[in-house]
């Protein structure tokens, strides 16, 4: 996965939608992940070449990110989600509050995606883990959805994942 | 089956006779416990099978990593424990990520292979998805539209509704409907990438941006239940070897109270004067030729029965005849030329027909063209239109 190089210049990304929710409300119901990813995917896919399939693909990826936030997030503050587009790429920026001591684990998981053994690690996680780890979910996005993933940290205990998904090319 | 917290349209089944374990719908559990029953069913299926277990995921619309890991765990453990076991995971090219995700398993475990089922899945596919069909479809729709634009409102088409055109071909019907009836939403689905590419180009050239063209299998659509007020499927039921399957899908995506609209031919009833006999001989042979490839181009008058058997009510059937007098007779002749090229030039050749047969076969098309262009001639192509309402 060649992250970094393939990320187009910041300014070129056009905002498509922004969404915020109280983290407490988000965490009250597991189904929020499914419902939000289905709904938002449909909204942003309508003007893609194949809206039905783009939305199916996008929903898959977005749901995993929402599930990561659900499992790792804390109930104070807000979850924020922004989706941008540049050409064939959608950028998902997701921010959620999490315990300060967890932040390094996200950082480490993101760094590992860039390493040359990413594919082997992914296969290894499929064949040995009982349940998917945070890392194996990010690897899934990188390998099966060709995603590039970055992390941003803020002063408040929160994590921001920036995930570029070139799905238009994969779908058609 | 459905488990609390899981989407009601997640379905798991095992068919012991065909050794097929299938997963369909949306499965995004929070923990493995929520899918414990399904996991147990897979384990049971593995215990029951001899030889090959088929795992059918072609209608698996969404599966999160939690579910993926859980099912894969069982599959890998089983292969490790039983050297005799083989697993074939059947995916669809429509749901692209399943092929990618499951595709890794073969690298981990050679006893597991992945097959994309819809690369060759119906007998006439290679002819129908071929680009040589494009000119046929184009001229055909131009001619049928003259009739259908006034027929469609009788079958429930009106402005402001949600429409799906299934097996849309090159999408020109969708464009015409979009212009004439201003739907709130229109989805046009086909399994020919070449036709869809053409359709998108045509739409772009006309400045039309609101048609959702989508690649899909009409008998396994990604579209959700009860979405559309009007579902059309034109000239396509007749090329499926199992029209019932397709109708079931059309029914599923139609809203209760909405209507499914189908058009089909009865090719042996194409006619012309003069040279009626030669024409009739050839079109009888067309019907036989299609049936050789498991397609029933005589389906038109059977539409009423098909709709009734699929559970529709308020069924309406009518027919119309496209003729050389509808507009420019040359249009009619062009359609026949396109038929001759594909039917005699490709399909008969593929069936292994003799040159003598093919020559006689071609003659009927030429005579039909002769009748169409003759100053006192008459040439016709009859079409059956039928629609049914999905009960509320
Ligand atoms: C005879 S054409 C009719 C096209 C169009 N409705 C028209 O009237 O011009 C049949 C169409 O069905 C499509 N088709 C065949 N099998 C299909 C399937 N399983 N799913 C989706 N489309 C399919 C073919 O690609 C082709 O475009």
pLDDT at B209 over 90: no
Q: Among residues B301, B251, B260, which one has the least CA distance to residue B388?
A: B260
* Cβ atoms of A148 and A164 closer than 8 Å: yes
| Chain B positions with Cβ closer than 8 Å to A | 5, 7, 26, 28, 30-32, 61-62, 64-66, 68-70, 72-73, 76, 94-97, 100-101, 104-105, 107-109, 187, 189, 196, 200, 209, 212-216, 222-223
pLDDT of A5-33, one tens digit each? 444 556 689 999 999 999 999 999 999 99
Q: What is the dihedral angle through the alpha carbons of A67, A73, A78, A82, rounded to the nearest 10 degrees?
A: -40
Contact A144 B100 (CB under 8 A): yes
List the residue whose alpha carbon is closest to atom 27 of ligand 1: B169
Q: Does the beta carbon of B191 lie inside 6 Å of ligand 1? A: yes
Contact residues, chain A, for B7 at CB < 8 Å: 34
End-to-end CA distance of chain A: 21
pLDDT of A163-172, one tens digit each? 999 999 888 7
Q: Ligand 1: distance of its center to the CA of B130 in Å?
A: 11
β-pairing verdict for B52-56 and B86-91: parallel
Strand partners, B265: B383
Q: Among residues B358, B296, B363, B297, which one has the least CA distance to residue B336?
A: B363
pLDDT of B264-310, one tens digit each? 999 999 999 999 999 999 999 999 999 999 999 999 999 999 999 99
Task: Kindly identify which residue of chain A lies nearest to residue B26, measuring between CA atoms.
Answer: A34
Residue B144 sits at the vertex; the CA angle it makes with B143 and B145, to the nearest 5 degrees, is: 95
Q: Which of A57, A64, A170 sits opposite B65 (nearest CB)?
A: A64
Contact A52 B72 (CB under 8 A): no
Mean pLDDT of B365-392: 98
- What one-character-per-residue DSSP string does B52-71 give? EEEEE-TTEEEE-HHHHHHH
Omega before B173 within 30 of 0, i.e. cis: no
Contact A140 B101 (CB under 8 A): yes
Mean pLDDT for chain B overall = 92
Strand partners, A20: A80
* Cβ atoms of B320 and B386 closer than 8 Å: no
Q: Among residues A87, A86, A45, A74, which one has the least CA distance to residue A62?
A: A45
Mean pLDDT for chain A overall = 91
Which atom of ligand 1 approaches the CA of B129 most closely?
Answer: 25
Q: Which residue has better confidence, B118 or A35?
A: A35
ipTM of the complex: 0.93
Q: Which of B5, B26, B72 sits opposite A30 (nearest CB)?
A: B5
Interface A–B counts its CB contacts (< 8 A) at 94
The distance of B354 to chain A (nearest Cα, Å) reads 41
Strand, helix or coil at B210? coil
Quick one: chain B helix, strand, coil %, rounded to 5?
A: 50, 25, 30
Testing ligand 1's pocket by substitution, the residue of B116, B147, B172, B191 carrying the most ligand atoms inside 8 A of its CB is: B191
Count of C-beta atoms within a 10 Å radius of residue B13: 14
* Cβ atoms of B111 and B51 closer than 8 Å: no
Which atom of ligand 1 approaches the CA of B136 most closely?
Answer: 9
pLDDT at B29: 96
pLDDT of A104-141, one tens digit each? 999 999 998 888 899 999 999 999 888 889 999 999 99
pLDDT at B4 over 50: no
Least confident of B21-25, B145-149, B222-226: B222-226
The alpha-carbon radius of gyration of chain B (Å, integer) is: 24
Q: Is the pTM of this model over 0.90?
A: no
- Interchain CB contact of A90 with B (< 8 Å): no
pLDDT at A131: 86
Q: What is the dihedral angle through the alpha carbons of B176, B179, B184, B186, rounded to the nearest 10 degrees?
A: 30
User: What's phi and psi for B170, nearest 5 deg?
Assistant: -85, 10
Q: What are the structural domains, with CATH classification, of chain B? A: 11-117 (3.30.750), 125-389 (3.40.50.150)
Q: What are the structural domains, with CATH classification, of chain A? A: 2-171 (3.30.565.10)
pLDDT at A3: 42
The alpha-carbon radius of gyration of chain A (Å, integer) is: 15
pLDDT at A54: 96
Long-range contacts of A97-104 (CB under 8 A, 24+ apart): A97/A23, A97/A73, A97/A156, A97/A157, A97/A158, A98/A72, A98/A73, A98/A74, A98/A157, A98/A158, A98/A159, A99/A74, A99/A157, A100/A157, A102/A72, A102/A159, A103/A153, A103/A157, A103/A159
- What one-character-per-residue DSSP string does B213-232 give? EEE-BTTB--SPTT-EEEEE
Contact A64 B26 (CB under 8 A): no
Q: Does the beta carbon of B192 lie inside 6 Å of ligand 1? A: yes
């Amino acid at each position: 996965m060649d992250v970094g190089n393939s990320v187009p210049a910041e300014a070129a990304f056009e905002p498509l939608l922004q969404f915020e929710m109280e983290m407490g409300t988000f965490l009250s119901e597991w189904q929020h992940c499914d419902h939000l990813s289905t709904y938002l995917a449909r909204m942003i896919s309508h003007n893609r070449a194949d809206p039905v399939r783009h939305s199916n693909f996008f929903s898959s990826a977005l749901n995993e990110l929402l599930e990561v936030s659900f499992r790792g997030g804390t109930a104070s503050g807000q979850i924020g989600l922004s989706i941008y587009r540049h050409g064939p790429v959608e950028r998902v920026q997701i921010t959620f509050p999490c315990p300060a001591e967890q932040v390094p684990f996200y950082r480490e998981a993101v760094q590992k995606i860039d390493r040359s053994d990413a594919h082997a690690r992914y296969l290894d996680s499929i064949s040995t883990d009982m349940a998917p780890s945070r890392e194996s979910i990010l690897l899934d996005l990188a390998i099966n959805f060709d995603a590039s993933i970055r992390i941003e940290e803020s002063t408040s205990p929160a994590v921001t994942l920036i995930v570029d998904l070139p799905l238009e090319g994969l779908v058609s | 089956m459905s488990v609390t917290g899981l989407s009601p349209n997640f379905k798991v089944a095992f068919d012991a006779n065909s050794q097929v374990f299938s997963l369909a719908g949306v499965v995004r559990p929070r923990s493995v416990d929520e899918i414990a029953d399904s996991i147990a069913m897979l384990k049971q299926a593995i215990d029951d099978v001899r030889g090959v277990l088929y795992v059918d995921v072609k209608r698996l619309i969404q599966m999160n990593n939690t579910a993926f890991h859980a099912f894969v765990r069982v599959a890998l453990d089983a292969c490790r424990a039983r050297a005799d076991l083989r697993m074939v995971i059947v995916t669809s090219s429509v749901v692209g990520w399943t092929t990618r995700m499951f595709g890794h398993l073969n690298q981990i475990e050679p006893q597991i292979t992945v097959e994309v089922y819809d690369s060759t899945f119906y007998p006439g596919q290679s002819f129908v998805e071929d680009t040589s069909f494009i000119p046929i479809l184009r001229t055909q729709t131009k001619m049928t539209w003259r009739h259908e634009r006034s027929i469609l409102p009788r079958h429930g088409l009106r402005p402001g509704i949600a429409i799906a055109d299934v097996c849309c071909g090159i999408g020109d019907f969708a464009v015409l409907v979009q212009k004439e009836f201003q739907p709130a939403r229109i989805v046009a689905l086909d399994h020919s990438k070449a036709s869809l590419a053409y359709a998108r180009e045509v739409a772009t050239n006309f400045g039309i941006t609101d048609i959702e063209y989508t690649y899909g299998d009409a008998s396994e659509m990604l579209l959700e239940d009860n979405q559309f007020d009007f579902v059309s499927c034109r000239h396509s039921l007749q090329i499926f070897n199992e029209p019932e399957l397709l109708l079931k899908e059309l029914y599923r995506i139609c809203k209760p109270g909405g209507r499914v609209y189908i058009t089909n031919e009865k090719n042996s009833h194409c006619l012309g004067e003069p040279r009626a006999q030669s024409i009739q001989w050839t079109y009888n042979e067309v019907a036989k030729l299609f049936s050789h490839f498991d397609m029933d181009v005589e389906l038109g008058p059977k539409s009423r029965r098909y709709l009734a058997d699929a559970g529709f009510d308020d069924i309406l059937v009518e027919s119309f005849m496209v003729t050389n007098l509808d507009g420019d007779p040359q249009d009619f002749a062009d359609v026949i030329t396109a038929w001759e090229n594909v039917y005699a030039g490709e399909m008969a050749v593929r069936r292994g027909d003799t040159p003598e047969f093919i020559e006689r076969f071609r003659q009927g098309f030429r005579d039909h063209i002769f009748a169409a262009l003759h100053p006192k001639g008459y040439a016709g192509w009859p079409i059956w239109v039928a629609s049914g309402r999905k009960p509320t």
